[in-house]
Structure 1
Amino acid sequence: MIHSWGMRILFALAVMVGPAATSVFASTCAEVPDYSDELSALFEEARAAETYQEGRTLSGRMWEVWLRAPDEAAQAVLDRGLSRRDSYDYVNAYADFTRLIEYCPDYAEGWNQRAFISFLRDDLDQALVDLDKALALQPRHVAAQAGRGLTLLKLGRIDEARTQMLAAVANNPWLNERALLEKGAPLGPKGEDI
């Protein structure tokens, strides 16, 4: 049992930390910039790329665009969530991406990253909900398309997964997931899978 002095200390800490923790999101998120022209150019370059290295470099440049948050507060939460994800701290990463979504609901990458955490935690239904939201905001988000394809594959919804993965590879033929579409692979040509 916490003594009354302990309760006073906890209350004082909550009063001091609470406003600091929420002040980052005291205002609304900046408008999400329209990166469609930049991404369209990268998609064209990726389709024209002739080497694996060139294709992977372009894929990295796509990620640089998607990971560009609308403002500094959103960027800080995104970066913290990514760091926690990379450290396998999925509980706190999920919480960070939820905060990001609440602050910037129109930023597709917040939804995509939270979906990835759900996928890693095997909460596939929630992953699909978040991926659908990310794709509604940014229909040609290749990573969300591929993530949705992988989620559908894991759910055993092969035809949907194949269609989704084909859409992702149409935008970026250098995705690692394209191997899933080869003959004999789980999403290979219909009638030719094992």
Structure 2
Amino acid sequence: MFATTARADAGSVVEDEEFRLDELFSLLRESDTEDFYDIESEIVEIWLHSGSASMDLLFERAQYAMTDQNFPKAIEHLSALIDHAPEFAEAWNARATVYYLTDQYALSISDIQQTLLLNPRHFGALNGLGLIFEELGDFEGAYKAYTMAREIHPFLENVNEALIELRPLIDGTEL
């Protein structure tokens, strides 16, 4: 009985978060430049919670390792987290970030793809994909990724700047 109630409560929390995210993304598209920071922060705050205190602790340890630039330890923690909570998109995204920071672009792209399967509105993952494509000289791929990120979050400054810089490159006229 208690397990059923706990599962029902967990399902309700997920539904509430999805409803709140829908509201926040609508507000984000309609907001102006003064309001979007708070909206973005609330979206990210929801994304950062796995739904399990022990998984959140493992994620926190990975974040500390990333901050300390102990990338092997961060990958170890994030891989363990993904093994235990494969539906937690932010774990995939964080590991993609570590792979990016260690120039392991193929692994980063793979984790970004998984992030986007779990969370198609993950503007940070799309931004990261754009960065990787730029690094690899795939300016069309970068432009597409940044465009998708901007459709979700119109105020990402680096995305908007990258789109302006990339447009002439994909049109065949370099800056």
Same fold (TM over 0.5): yes
Q: By how many angstroms is 1:176 displaced?
A: 3.0
Rg: which structure is higher? 1
Contact 1:93/1:117 (CA < 8 Å) preserved in 2?
A: yes
- TM (norm. structure 1) is 0.76
Deviation track 1:114-150 (CA, whole Å, cap 9, x = no partner) reads 0000000010010001000111111111111111111
Q: Distance in 1 between matches of 2:121 and 2:95?
A: 18
Counterpart of 2:102 (choices 109, 121, 138) is 121
Aligned partner of 1:40 among 22, 28, 39: 22
Shift, 1:193, TM fit: 4.6
Aligned equivalents of 1:108, 1:144: Cα separation in 2: 10
Taking a change above 3 Å as real, the CA distance of residues 54 and 103 of structure 1, as seen in their structure-2 partners, is: same
Code of the aligned partner of 1:188: R
Whether 1:50 and 2:29 are equivalent positions in the alignment is no
In 1, Cα distance between the equivalents of 2:43 and 2:115?
15
The equivalent residue for 1:156 is 137
Give 1:1-194 correspondences, 5 Å limit.
33-34=14-15, 35-51=17-33, 53-178=34-159, 179-182=161-164, 185=165, 187-188=166-167, 190-191=170-171, 193-194=174-175
Q: How many residues align?
A: 161
State the 1:33 CA deviation.
Answer: 2.9
Unmatched tracts of structure 1, length 5 or more: 1-29
Q: Is the 8 A contact 1:59 1:174 kept in 2?
A: no
Partner Cα distance (2:40, 2:167) in 1: 23
TM-score of the superposed pair, with normalisation by structure 2: 0.84
Q: SS where residue 14 of structure 2 aligns? A: coil
Query: What are the Cα deviations for residues 73-117 of structure 1, in whole angstroms up to 9, with x where unaligned?
Result: 110001111111112111111111111100101111111000000
Percentage identity across paired residues of the two chains:
26
Q: What letter is aligned with 1:41?
A: E
Q: Distance in 2 between matches of 1:103 and 1:38?
A: 26
